[in-house]
Amino acid sequence: MEKEMTEEERRERAITISTQRILTQRDFEQLKIVEMKKRIQDRRKNRLEQSITNNRKRKTISIDTDSNSDDENKKNSEQNLGLISLKDIERVHKKRAHDKESRLETVISGREGREKFGKWKKEKGRAGSTNKEKLKNKNFQMLKPKLRKKQKRSFRDKQIALRDALLKDKRLR
């Protein structure tokens, strides 16, 4: 019955059913199954079409080693298939990767004639460490009482210390 109906009749029937009828869970499951079947069939069709078109595109090419027939083959291949001879193609082989020595040479040659970048480092022996560096290396047990005292300060003491620090910073600038 469904096979005899045309596309337009099927669409009209589907529209009337979807507008007038309430679908149940079974109906939704059946719809999903039908959709999945259609997808699978479409995929199979596409694969078949692709394999057919790919087979048509591929043509066997015979290569003659005679030097006399090279000119004739060149003319025929250019006219029929639009192929280019191997002599006209450059760099058929893969470009070799550089070894470690050649890479180092290129890096060192690139470094010449430019300033060094990165963080400035002190010259050893000439200068000592800064106070900040010393504080980083200082034992935490020695700093504990100082931190405890800082935490116990009153709000007014903290205000005064902040004001003094800001004034000192302003004077140094």
Q: How confident is the model at residue 47 (pLDDT cuts 50, 70, 90)?
A: confident
Give residue-wise pLDDT tens across range 138-164.
Answer: 999 999 999 999 999 999 999 999 999
Task: Locate the domains of the chain by residue range.
Answer: 7-57, 139-172
Per-residue confidence (pLDDT) for residue 173, from 0 to 100: 84
Greater pLDDT, 130 or 1: 130
Q: How confident is the model at residue 166 (pLDDT cuts 50, 70, 90)?
A: very high
The Cα-based distances of 1 to 5, 9, 10, 20, 165 in angstroms read: 7, 12, 11, 21, 94
Q: Is the pLDDT of residue 71 over 80?
A: no
Q: Is the pLDDT of residue 99 over 90?
A: no
Q: Which of 80, 84, 81, 100 is nearest to 92 (CA)?
A: 84
What count of residues does the chain have?
A: 173
